[in-house]
Amino acid sequence: MKGHGRIIEYALSTLARRKFKNFSVAAVFSVLIAVLSSILFLMHAYKTETLKLLDNSPEIILQNMSGGRHELIPTEYIGTLSGIAGVGQITPRYWGYYYDSLTSANYTLMAFDETMRDVKPIDGRMPAADGECAVGRGVADLRQVGIKDDIFLTLGTEQNVNLKIVGTFTANSAILTNDLVVLTKADLIKFFNMPADKATDITIEVNNPAEVSMVARKIRRTFPDSRPILKNELLRTYDNIFNWRGGIVLIMFFGAIAAFMIFVWDKATGINAEERQEIGILKAIGWETSDVLQLKFWEGVVVSLSSFLTGLILAYMHVFYFHAQFLAPVLKGWSVLFPKFEPMPYIDIYQIFVLFFLTVVPYVAACVVPSWKAAISDPDSVMR
């Protein structure tokens, strides 16, 4: 152990003698790790948030279609749906999107009902009477309001509502509640001027999860103008979307990845004359080949591991403290109007290990292999 400690000490002094070169290498390495880690962290955070959002999602969401577009669905469908074998609880939902011109953001307005099991107040309570509402953190921050404050929403001279905030809330997923305004059914119907016999969509629970596809086919045959959306279809769709968007971002930084590979290849093809001479001197004064390889191994470990950890820290701060300002618009797409969303710090350890073996291990190998070629040569010829 004492011998290893001496070799590590000498490796650090060697790195310090070439501090400008090693610092530039570490800086490039750190930036590359930061970019790749930011993409992986943000994709994993969004996918985890989406899975949490869909944890308590109903097995089937039934939408009415007209001209290939979603429209309000008649509530009279509920009576026919309840007669289909395998169908459990049926709940009409009332919700809609609202563009707030004051803050240039999109909100989701939803009527409070018993299906909102994963939504719970942080402070205050949920709306119980007309004229009350609960808002998500994103809406509260944008409007700079809190409990007992009023929030005014308008769609014109006739469709407007003044609501008193009685609660702010969270949920298992920040995506679900960040832009959400929950109000009573009567206020929402009045605000959107919805017919009394129609809802936005209908949620359907299935008694036997294995029969979801069969029940969906029965519903589609009964209501040809409707579209049953299955929970597993939503999960698969969101997973594909984030994988595709993440792949696009990785392609954008393909040049940086290619530059790193060229850099590693250049390290593996040989070492400069100064390093060869240093190895020759070490061999001449009694160092073994194994000692030289240990020296170069620790030099590579110090540079690559410190760069790797620095890159991870920078990526963590970029994604979870600065809200991924450079990458979020690409992954979120149209939702740039969405109130500021702070992804929860979900990290996949497997991804970190894969990134480690794809970057640190090749770099260390690139430091050791050419040094081995010089270490097995005759010291006199190397110094000459």
pLDDT in tens, the chain (384 residues): 666 677 777 777 877 887 887 788 888 888 888 888 888 888 788 777 777 777 777 889 999 988 878 899 999 999 999 888 888 889 999 999 998 888 888 888 999 876 666 666 678 888 888 999 999 888 888 888 888 899 988 876 667 888 999 988 765 556 677 788 999 999 999 899 899 899 999 999 888 888 888 999 999 999 988 899 888 888 777 777 767 666 666 666 666 677 767 766 665 555 666 666 776 777 667 677 777 778 888 888 888 899 999 999 999 988 888 877 776 666 555 444 455 566 677 778 888 888 888 888 888 887 777 776 666 665 555 556
- Between CA 174 and CA 117 the distance in angstroms is 15
Each residue's pLDDT tens digit, 290-310: 777 788 888 888 888 999 999
Distance of CA 77 to the CA centre of its chain: 38
Q: Which residues pair with 47 in a beta bridge?
A: none
DSSP secondary structure letters along 193-257: T--TTEESEEEEEESSGGGHHHHHHHHHHH-TTEEEEEHHHHHHHHHHHHHHHHHHHHHHTHHHH
Contacts of 86 (CB under 8 A, 6+ apart): 206, 207, 208, 211, 214, 215, 218
- Between CA 98 and CA 122 the distance in angstroms is 23
Residue type, 172: N
Question: Is 161 in a helix, a strand, or coil?
Answer: strand
- Between CA 331 and CA 340 the distance in angstroms is 14
Q: What is the pLDDT of residue 245?
A: 63
- Between CA 298 and CA 6 the distance in angstroms is 11
Q: What is the pLDDT of residue 92?
A: 92
pTM over the 0.85 mark: no
Residues 336/237, Cβ–Cβ less than 8 Å? no
Q: What is the pLDDT of residue 334?
A: 47
Question: Is 7 in a helix, a strand, or coil?
Answer: helix
Residue 119: count of CB within 10 angstroms of its CB:
21
